[in-house]
Amino acid sequence: MLYYLSTDTWGCLSSPLRKKVEIMENVFKRSSEETHNVFKWENLGDVKEGRGDLGEDMPVLVYRLMQFTMLDILTKQYGSDKANDLFRDAGFLAGKEFAQAVLDLNVNLDNFVANLQQALEDYRIGILRMEAFDSETGNLTLTVGQDLDCSGLPITNETVCNYDEGFIAGILNAYTGKNYEVREVDCWANGDRVCRFDGIVI
């Protein structure tokens, strides 16, 4: 139940109490306008301040624990094809937001690739190498070594980096304004030692 304060009542409140009321009003306003389920880059928070002594980093094991258990549940609920599509969609959103927040999108291709390589290493995502780029079509092939998602996984003769496919497509979309279909063709899980991705403009 909501209670409303009259102008006379508001005028009688002390400054600290007014502040508390204003804070509560903002909380209710936010809850009606947005939720935790709607992603915004700024909602990632101030990790450095919040984590204190534990710091901003965590083991890759913890990241994979979250990712693979989520994939397991989605697969049981929707089947593997739909689960993989959802992971690509999530990766696309992450890649686009990452590019817009972290990268300079107004530089030439060589500088963009160099900046992306550095950012992926700084954030411990992987080691990027551009293998091929067709300037006429925009199609490309790139590799990611020591990939966050799969390096060190058991060999199961499959490609598993669906989230990365979306992540790369999102980055490319943010930079070029074009839609890319990105598919992994080599993966640690199918016996390679780098992840190789083909990106085709669609």
Per-residue pLDDT tens digits for 55-78: 999 999 999 999 999 999 999 999
Residues 6+ apart with CB under 8 A from 107: 115
Q: Spell out the alpha helix ranges (H) of the chain.
A: 7-12, 15-33, 47-51, 60-78, 80-102, 109-122, 162-176
Give CA–CA dist 149/57, Å, rounded: 16
User: CATH number for the domain including 164?
Assistant: 3.30.1380.20
Task: Tell me what pLDDT residue 16 has.
Answer: 61
Secondary structure (3-state) at 198: strand
Six-digit token string for 155: 């060999």
57 within a domain of the structure (yes/no): no
In a domain, 72, yes or no: yes
pTM of the model: 0.82
The domain in which residue 76 lies consists of 67-201
Residue 144 lies in a domain: yes
Residue 23 confidence (pLDDT): 56
Secondary structure (3-state) at 82: helix
* Residue 38 domain flag: no
Q: What is the pLDDT of residues 143-190, one digit of tens each?
A: 999 999 999 999 999 999 999 999 999 999 999 999 999 999 999 999
CB neighbour list of residue 198: distance below 8 Å, 6 or more residues apart = 139, 140, 141, 182, 183, 185
Whole-angstrom distance, CA of residue 109 vs CA of residue 112: 5
**Residue 100 included in any domain:** yes
**Domain presence at residue 197:** yes
Between helices 60-78 and 80-102, what is the axis angle to 10°? 140
In a domain, 16, yes or no: no
b/e code 81-101 from CB counts within 10 Å (16+ = b): eebbebbbebbbebbbbbbee
- State how many domains the chain has: 1
Structural domain contains residue 4? no
**pLDDT tens digit sequence for 103-152:** 999 999 999 999 999 999 999 999 999 999 999 999 999 999 999 999 99
Distance of alpha carbon 17 from alpha carbon 23, whole angstroms: 10
